[in-house]
């Protein structure tokens, strides 16, 4: 719909198919929506933004759908054909056909190692191998940027992570070394952000799926949904935050965040990225002193909350459960009955938090009680009450809000 | 000017006098401007926002003036009188009179220690003395919040720093200790932010004047003026950033920032606050991996720039000078002649950077050359050229942009 001088022109719908659910694909899809296109995003994987854990990618996908992007996940492109009149059809491996006036290929990057191979350089899983001084297997040849394999700062694994910031540092390090200095690359945390319809998704460090892939089991995760800034100040929006940390020593391993307030996401993941770089623990996050004024944060910032929630787990104050664990436990929902109308968990017993102390006799002493509320805050109080009264209880991290993620 | 149904009502100007140039005074002044008041801000000190170094406070004051706030600094209130018709007059110690329809007192906070004194508790320079477990001089009495003196995390000095975040942590620590746990308060960094007409000023850690007051001389400072995000992406705005660090080991001591993009200021000072908490050096800042997408930052973020500029100084690659040093040196301005029309330094010799290598013979070898450009970036290249050609040269930190601060 275009307006000009009071007269409205209705243009025929234009259809775009964007192939690839990475940074470029998503940014292109958003901008085509702004231009009035009907946009379909085709991605071979079953999620967008591959570095994100799947449940957080689901949040991104729902956010994109809300803004009009149609998602075709888990489906690769099989071919294209051109119709009479010039329009295109995109055929996918599953046999679906997406008509399009415009097709964008945003399939990601892969190092072009032809020259490196011709020079006899060692190539790893697709990228040029370098040491921490950017030297290739030929000591007279240096390589930097998206063509090389970099060491993951958290896991120590070598992988292809194409990011401008680390590439820039690598260039400086190579120059230093060539000039006779002892600079070394400490690896990359993979810190990233993508703007999405004025919101953003961002992450730093290891994801849960990366830790699982390398067989690391010494970690715990928490989900929390704090406000972008003080709730009493206009414009506060919920952040979704996932933080991964070492069970054995509390060291921060990684974090993912998203929300409709882009700069608020940026602030938290940038602060957590520095914490991760410096080897911070979740106990350090409890004490972090980020900028606070009501329009910028909270006296207890989202980063502090993350530290407190995680420290409660490691100090044993708040045994934690995740939705994947619920099959064995007795489910106790401490929300108000009116909230159950929105969404409730089959089989869960409802005792609102305010009645819990007087209704303890209704609860089993021989089973573990898994406590649910909306965001896990009331469930925190309920779990404390239960533990102090001799029950076995755990708080389900992120409550109904994280359940929505696990089901999506 | 008010509009209603196409008819304009012109209201008589309303005059407000805000007394006090701290957070509350400045926030009130801004909001009264938004309401259409003519606002005068009266402050007894010669700067607003006392924790800021004076030259950065000047930037805030200029920003406020640009948005219509009249500044009356270095002048205390002597009295008030009421005129016929109800209007007020504010008389100041210098004898000036400010007519006002509204006067706001925003004079700051001071602990009310009457109860603590009556209880025989030790009082320091105005606040209740506590140990790092929030215990007063009576071990059965705990105190937290704005009534206590807190230890400055950087300097180790005890002082009154009224901030919500640390107060919140102190409450948790007192509760922990009372419950038998070993929690301890690590002190406060004084991290603060204030929104100012959609911009912001923020700081963390020690200021230059605090370091000077306690006689600390093992520090250096840098000024830089990077973009809030990638310059090629619309909406980038300049940040003013001052970073203080230990000369002996590069440890970050404090930072101050301001700019017209409030969240961009918040992001950098929050990230630097975490760096400071974790004992980061400026070498760590060089390698910081903050969120980067063009609308959120740069591949070389402002925080990286700060680390690189500071590390260049400590590694000896870039001898630094400040405007206070210029009396002794030979001043070389490497900007384009057209830029000198905007503002130039009396006595400085102008050789544009692009001509420098061919005009070295014009420069003295027996004097130290202090190099100037707009932001110190071209002066960096010029200083390198001079050093490599055997001259003695230093780069004036922040260039003409920081000169504007030093003169204001």
φ/ψ (deg, to 5) at B298: -135, 155
What's the token pair of residue B163?
Answer: 């901030």
ipTM score here? Answer: 0.94
B273 touches chain A (CB under 8 A): yes
How confident is the model over A25-36, as a mean pLDDT?
96
B92 touches chain A (CB under 8 A): no
Nearest CA in chain B to A305: B169
Nearest-angstrom CA–CA distance, B339 and B341? 5
Q: Which residues in chain A are contacts of B191 at CB distance < 8 A?
A: 289-292
Give the model's pLDDT for residue B7: 56
Nearest-angstrom CA–CA distance, A388 and A156? 42
Residue range A152-168, pLDDT digits in tens: 999 999 999 989 999 99
DSSP A352: -
Alpha helices, DSSP H, located in A70-111: none
Indicate which of A152, A266, A273, A300 best probes the interface with B, i.e. most B CBs within 10 Å of its own CB: A266
Q: Do A296 and B262 touch (CB under 8 A)?
A: yes
Give the model's pLDDT for residue A252: 98
Please tell me the distance in Å from A210's CA to the nearest CA on chain B: 19
What's the token pair of residue A105?
Answer: 């290929």
**Residue A21: pLDDT above 80?**
yes
**pLDDT-based confidence at B360, cuts 50/70/90?**
very high
The dihedral through the CA atoms of A214, A215, A217, A221 has a sign that is positive
Judged by DSSP in three states, A176 sits in helix
Please tell me the distance in Å from B233's CA to the nearest CA on chain A: 13
HSE-CB for B51 with a 13 A CA cutoff: 25
A295 touches chain B (CB under 8 A): yes
Q: Which residues in chain B are contacts of A301 at CB distance < 8 A?
A: 165
B167 touches chain A (CB under 8 A): yes
Q: Which residues in chain B are contacts of A30 at CB distance < 8 A?
A: none
- Tokens 């938090």 identify what position? A353
Nearest-angstrom CA–CA distance, B384 and A394? 62
φ/ψ (deg, to 5) at A2: -120, 135
Describe the crossing of helices B262-277 and A262-277 by its angle, rounded to 10 degrees: 20
pTM flag (> 0.90): yes
What's the token pair of residue A188?
Answer: 């990359």
Give the model's pLDDT for residue A12: 67
Query: Computed over its alpha carbons, how large is the radius of gyration of chain B?
Result: 25
Return the closest-CA partner of residue B253 out of B272, B271, B276, B287.
Answer: B276
Pairing type for strands B70-73 and B239-246 reads: unpaired
Q: Do A274 and B266 touch (CB under 8 A)?
A: no
Indicate which of B252, B270, B282, B384 best probes the interface with A, i.e. most A CBs within 10 Å of its own CB: B270
Nearest-angstrom CA–CA distance, B28 and B39? 10
B237 touches chain A (CB under 8 A): no
B292 touches chain A (CB under 8 A): yes
Q: How far is CA A260 from the centre of its chain?
A: 14
Describe the crossing of helices B399-407 and B54-66 by its angle, rounded to 10 degrees: 90
Q: Could you tell me which residues come within 8 angstroms of residue B405 by beta carbon, excluding any fewer than 6 positions away?
A: B55, B56, B58, B59, B223, B240, B398
Q: Which residues in chain B are contacts of A189 at CB distance < 8 A?
A: 289
CA distances from B201 to A214, B30, B254, B255, B393 (A): 44, 14, 14, 11, 33
Nearest-angstrom CA–CA distance, B102 and A295? 26
Residue range A265-292, pLDDT digits in tens: 999 999 999 999 999 999 999 999 999 9
**In chain B, which among 13-32 make CB contacts under 8 A with chain A?**
23
Give the model's pLDDT for residue A5: 56
Q: Could you tell me which residues come within 8 angstroms of residue A88 by beta carbon, excluding any fewer than 6 positions away?
A: A17, A80, A81, A82, A99, A100, A101, A102, A103
**Residue A9: pLDDT above 60?**
no
Return the closest-CA partner of residue A220 out of A244, A204, A241.
Answer: A244
Q: Do B273 and A289 touch (CB under 8 A)?
A: yes
Judged by DSSP in three states, B239 sits in strand
Residue range A118-160, pLDDT digits in tens: 999 999 989 999 999 999 999 999 999 999 999 999 999 999 9
| CB atoms closer than 10 angstroms to residue B214 | 12
Nearest-angstrom CA–CA distance, A295 and B31? 14
Residue range B285-343, pLDDT digits in tens: 999 999 999 999 999 999 999 999 999 999 999 999 999 888 878 999 999 999 999 89
φ/ψ (deg, to 5) at A276: -60, -45
Q: Which residues in chain B are contacts of A170 at CB distance < 8 A?
A: none
Q: What is the mean pLDDT of chain A?
A: 94
Nearest CA in chain B to A170: B287
φ/ψ (deg, to 5) at A243: -125, 130
Give the model's pLDDT for residue A1: 42
A169 touches chain B (CB under 8 A): yes
Give the model's pLDDT for residue A404: 80
Q: Do A296 and B271 touch (CB under 8 A)?
A: no
A267 touches chain B (CB under 8 A): yes
Cβ pairs A/B, distance under 8 A = 160
What's the token pair of residue A274?
Answer: 């520095």
Residues B75 and B94: beta-carbon distance below 8 Å = yes
A188 touches chain B (CB under 8 A): yes
Residue range B11-45, pLDDT digits in tens: 667 999 999 999 999 999 999 999 999 999 999 99
Please tell me the distance in Å from B298's CA to the nearest CA on chain A: 8
**In chain A, which among 214-233 make CB contacts under 8 A with chain B?**
none
Q: What DSSP string runs through A184-251? A: ----B---EEEEETTEEEEEEE--HHHHHHTT--SEEEEEE--BSS-TTSTT--BEEEEEEEETTT-B
**Residue B1: pLDDT above 50?**
no
């Amino acid at each position: 719909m275009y307006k000009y001088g009071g007269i409205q022109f209705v243009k025929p719908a234009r259809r775009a198919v964007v192939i690839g659910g990475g940074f470029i694909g998503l940014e292109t899809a958003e901008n085509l929506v702004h231009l009035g296109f009907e946009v379909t995003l085709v991605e071979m994987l079953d999620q967008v933004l591959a570095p994100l854990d799947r449940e957080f990618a689901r949040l991104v996908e729902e956010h994109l759908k809300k803004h009009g992007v149609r998602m075709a996940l888990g489906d690769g492109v099989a071919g294209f054909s051109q119709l009479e009149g010039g329009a295109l059809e995109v055929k996918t491996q599953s046999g679906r056909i997406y008509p399009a006036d415009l097709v964008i290929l945003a399939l990601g990057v892969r190092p072009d190692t032809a020259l490196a191979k011709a020079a006899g350089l060692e190539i790893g899983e697709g990228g040029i191998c370098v040491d921490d001084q950017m030297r290739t297997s030929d000591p007279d040849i240096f390589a930097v940027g998206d063509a090389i394999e970099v060491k993951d700062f958290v896991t120590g694994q070598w992988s292809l992570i194409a990011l401008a910031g680390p590439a820039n540092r690598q260039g400086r390090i190579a120059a230093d070394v060539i000039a006779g200095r002892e600079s070394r690359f400490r690896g990359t945390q993979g810190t990233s952000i993508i703007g999405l319809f004025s919101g953003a998704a961002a992450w730093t460090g290891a994801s849960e799926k990366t830790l699982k892939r390398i067989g690391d089991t010494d970690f715990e995760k928490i989900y929390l949904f704090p406000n972008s800034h003080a709730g009493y100040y206009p414009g506060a929006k919920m952040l979704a935050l996932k933080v991964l940390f070492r069970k054995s020593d509390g060291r921060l391993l990684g974090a993912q965040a998203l929300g409709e307030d882009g700069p608020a996401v940026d602030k938290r993941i940038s602060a957590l990225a520095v914490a991760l770089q410096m080897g911070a623990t979740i106990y350090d996050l409890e004490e972090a002193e980020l900028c606070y004024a009501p329009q910028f944060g909270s006296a207890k910032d989202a980063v502090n909350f993350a530290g407190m929630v995680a420290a409660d787990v490691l100090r044993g104050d708040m045994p934690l459960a995740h939705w994947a664990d619920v099959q064995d436990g007795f489910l106790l929902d401490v929300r108000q009955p009116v909230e159950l109308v929105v969404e409730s968990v089959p089989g869960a017993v409802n005792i609102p938090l305010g009645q819990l102390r007087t209704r303890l006799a209704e609860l089993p002493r021989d089973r573990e009680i898994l406590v649910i509320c909306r965001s896990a805050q009331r469930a925190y109080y309920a779990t404390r009450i239960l533990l102090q009264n001799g029950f076995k209880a755990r708080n389900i991290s992120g409550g109904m809000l994280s359940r929505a993620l696990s089901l999506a």
